[in-house]
């Protein structure tokens, strides 16, 4: 199908984009890479009368380090995340995750902001941002505010983003050097959404886990921050029994639907499997400094 009629706007500044958004209210939608919104428009699941292309706003793109935090502009593409030396050094899980998103053509246009902002439970970056303790910087007619990634998602395609706001950046506290990380993703084929996936960030001291965070992708209407699973591995060397307990805790909060990727029971089980695998890989990396 083809989308319904709309008026196309390409503002050159954030202020201009916010003015258009405020003027037209819920009849307007921001457009980043377009890989979520355009298919929905073609299916007539979304019919905005005004489309605000953010691609011409230079201030929304780029990666920098500020006071120990890594700040990534909302329209920075997945391909740019993969190529970033700063992210490779400080936040390698982002590169690892971006490489598992779709294919090179889509990564060349798809943006970090688009991936995290629209509330699609199948998107990969939201769980990674929860594991990293990221903050989403939102700007609207009332000014700027920050919302933790762990508090942002309210339901499938429902988020804390207000109608007159645009996600302008993602701010991430840089984990300590030598931290462990992993994003383990089970999928049917290259480029597919996850059947189940798990993001892990942890640190190791004296051969045991000293801090950890775990988040799950596409096994519920929102990404899931698995706080209880993370608590179970603190003070351990991630032995097999501990990994199994953490996997069971992850499965306990999963609430997947039966779909073309498998039954709810199978996907819940895979949430546990991906959690155990991600924890084992992250722990090994932390021990070796890889």
Q: What is the CATH number of the domain that holds 200?
A: 3.30.390.50
Q: Contact at 8 Å (CB) between 104 and 91? A: no
Q: Are residue 96 and residue 186 in the same domain, yes or no?
A: no
Whether 267 and 201 share a structural domain: yes
Q: Is 65 inside a domain boundary?
A: yes
Task: Decide if 118 is inside a domain.
Answer: yes
Number of domains composing the chain: 3
**Is 1 among the domain residues?**
no
Q: What is the pLDDT of residue 290?
A: 61
How confident is the model at residue 37, as a pLDDT? 83
Residue 2 inside a domain? The answer is: no
Question: Quick check: is 266 in a domain?
Answer: yes
List the CATH number of the domain containing 41: 3.30.43.10
42, 73: one domain? no
- Give the pLDDT of residue 250: 98
pLDDT, residue 62, reads: 98
pLDDT at 248: 98
134 lies in some domain: yes
| Domain end call among 121, 148, 173 | 173
Instruction: Give me the numbers of helices (H) and strands (E) for the chain, helices first please.
Output: 12, 14
Range of the domain at 235: 180-288
Residues 149 and 253 in one domain: no
Low-confidence ranges of the chain (pLDDT < 50): none
Encode pLDDT of 80-116 as tens digits: 999 999 999 999 999 999 999 999 999 999 999 999 9
DSSP 51-104: EEEGGG-GGG--EEEETTEEEEETT-BHHHHHH-HHHHHH-HHHHHHHTTSS-H
């Amino acid at each position: 199908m083809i989308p319904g009629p709309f008026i196309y706007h390409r503002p050159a500044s954030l202020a201009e984009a916010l003015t258009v958004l405020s003027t037209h209210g819920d009849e307007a939608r921001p457009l980043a890479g377009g890989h979520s919104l355009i298919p929905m428009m073609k299916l007539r699941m979304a019919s905005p009368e005004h489309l605000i292309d953010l691609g011409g706003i230079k201030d929304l793109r780029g990666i920098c380090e500020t006071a120990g935090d890594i700040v990534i502009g909302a329209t920075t593409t997945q391909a740019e995340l993969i190529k970033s030396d700063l992210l490779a050094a400080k936040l390698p899980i982002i590169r690892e995750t971006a490489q598992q998103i779709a294919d090179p053509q889509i990564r060349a246009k798809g943006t970090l902001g688009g991936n995290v902002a629209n509330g699609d439970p199948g998107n990969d970056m939201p769980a990674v941002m929860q594991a990293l303790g990221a903050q989403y910087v939102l700007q609207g007619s009332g000014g700027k505010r920050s919302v933790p990634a762990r508090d942002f998602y309210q339901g499938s395609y429902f988020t804390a983003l207000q109608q007159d706001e645009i996600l302008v950046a993602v701010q991430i506290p840089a984990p300590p050097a030598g931290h462990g990380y992993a994003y383990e993703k089970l999928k049917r084929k290259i480029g597919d959404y996850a059947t189940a996936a798990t993001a892990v960030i942890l640190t190791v001291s004296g051969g045991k886990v000293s801090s950890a965070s775990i988040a799950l992708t596409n096994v519920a209407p929102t990404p899931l921050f698995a706080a209880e699973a993370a608590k179970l591995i603190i003070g351990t060397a991630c032995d097999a029994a501990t990994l199994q307990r953490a996997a069971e805790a992850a499965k306990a909060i999963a609430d997947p639907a039966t779909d073309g990727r498998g039954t709810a029971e199978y996907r819940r089980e895979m949430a546990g499997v991906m959690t155990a695998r991600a924890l084992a890989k992250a722990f090994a990396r932390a021990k070796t400094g890889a």
